[in-house]
Amino acid sequence: MRCPYCNHDDTKVIDTAHDSHGGIRRRRECLKCKQRFSSYERPILATPLIIKQDGTREEFDREKLMRGIRIACAKRPVSAADIERLVGVVEAELQKMGKAEVSSRVVGDLVIAGLKELDQIAYIRYAIVYLRLDDLHALRDEIDRLLEGK
């Protein structure tokens, strides 16, 4: 690995730690300038193309999914780690399917199920857009279903 401080090619690994998402964090030291830095390795598994409602296809975008979940969780007591974990679960489920293409509905269903467990207000915020709850009666019905399931 190249040193980010002096661009030297030779570094040594001082420490290695594994995280719960299958990634590896390595603490490194440059053999030339002696600066220390961390690197993070994560396996790259193929994620399927997402088929949108209009029939177009796009690559799965982890950051786009994270932004949508963050918006739903804004000003809620949901940690960044919880959001990251939910995105990781959704991504892992898509990879486990082993399909080349998956409907955006599948992604939405995975997110909505995760948010339901994580924070009910964030769930309702996401559901308003995802389930197209465009009037107060539809919203009330969804809240009633949520309360009954508790």
Task: Using pLDDT thresholds of 50, 70 and 90, give the confidence band for residue 42.
Answer: confident
Residue 150 in this model has a pLDDT that exceeds 60: no
Contact 69, 85 (CB under 8 A): no
pLDDT at residue 148, as a whole number: 84
Q: Are residues 35 and 65 in the same domain?
A: no
Instruction: Select from 62, 32, 37, 33 the least CA-distant residue to 47.
Output: 62
The tokens for 8 are 């030297």
Residues 95 and 76 in one domain: yes
Same domain, 28 and 74: no
Average pLDDT value for residue range 105-124: 92
Query: Does 102 lie in the same domain as 31?
Result: no
Q: Is the pTM of this model over 0.95?
A: no
Residue 16: inside a domain = yes
Residue at 5 is within a domain: no
Length of the chain, please? 150
Closest CA to 47 of 4, 1, 10, 90: 90
If asked whether residues 37 and 53 sit together in one domain, one would say no
Same domain? For 132 and 98 the reply is yes
The model's confidence at residue 104, banded by pLDDT at 50, 70 and 90, is: very high
Is the residue at 37 inside a domain?
Answer: yes
- Count of domains observed in the chain: 2
Angle at 45 between CA 49 and CA 114, to 5 degrees: 70
Residue 34: domain span: 11-41
